[in-house]
Structure 1
Amino acid sequence: MRFLIDAQLPPALARAITSEGYDAVHVRDIDLTSASDHAVWAEASLRGAVIITKDEDFVMIARIRDETSAPAVVWIRIRNCSKKALLEAVVPILPTVVTMVEAGEKVIEVR
């Protein structure tokens, strides 16, 4: 499974996901740090990637677009925290996230 990590989250999250055996890239690594949400959405669509973000706008786009081929969105709802705490919260649940995406879930909230 492929993941595209949005700008509000650290590039270390992409590296941690990659170390778990998944394909992950941060928007910074592909020169999309300042890109619009729609440009990031389009890139995720091209890559067949799941968007991981803290930005509720992607949830709204997912609900409006409601396309079967649209990217799934993992919406991180954890309050501001250290990078270590973020990784400790997200990395262990990756298999569950993958299962949910494969089952057709389009928006997955992580609290």
Structure 2
Amino acid sequence: MRFLVDAQLPTAVARWISSRGHDAVHVSDLHLQDASDSVIWDLALRESAVIVSKDQDFADRRSRVKMGPQVVWIRIRNSRKAALLARLAEIFTEVEESLLAGETIITAR
């Protein structure tokens, strides 16, 4: 799977997802850290990438349209990078399964 990690999350999230065998890039790797949600959305569509974000706007937008990128909405409270990655490690298999099953919005808590 391909993942596009939004600016509210650390670049370490993209690296961690890549370590699981996926193609993952952080928006800052593409010099898009200040890009609008629409730019990120359109890029995810073109690249067939899953958006990973803490931004509720992506989940809301995806819920209103028939077609669009899948969205992993990170609802893990603000924490240190190590704690965030540890929580992702606990839940990511379920996230992957949900994406493979075709779910459009996956809420990660």
Q: Which runs of 5+ in 2 are unaligned?
A: none
Q: CA deviation at 1:93?
A: 2.5
Q: TM-score, normalised by structure 2?
A: 0.95
Cα deviation for residue 75 of structure 1 reads 0.5
For residue 43 of structure 2, give the secondary structure of its aligned residue in structure 1: helix
Kept in 2: contact 1:17–1:91 (CA 8 A): no
- Mark the runs of 5 or more structure 1 residues left unpaired by the alignment: none
The equivalent residue for 1:34 is 34
Task: Give the Cα–Cα distance (whole angstroms) in 2 for the partners of residues 21 and 103 of structure 1.
Answer: 18
Deviation at 1:66, TM superposition (A): 2.3
**Aligned residue for 1:7?**
7
Distance 2:96 2:40 in 1: 20
AA paired with 2:23? D
Shift of 1:92: 3.6
Distance in 2, Cα, partners of 1:84 & 1:104 = 29
2:77 is aligned with 1:83: no
- Following superposition, the deviation at residue 27 of structure 1 comes to 0.2
Aligned residues: 109
1:5–1:53 contact (8 Å) kept in structure 2:
yes
Correspondences of 1:36-55 after superposition (within 5 Å)? 36-55=36-55
Residue 61 of structure 1 and its aligned partner are, at CA, apart by 0.9
1:105 — aligned with what? 103
Letter in 1 for 2:92: L
Match of 1:63 in 2: 63
Q: Which amino acid aligns with 1:83?
A: K
SS in 2 for 1:45: helix
* Equivalent residue letter for 2:76: I
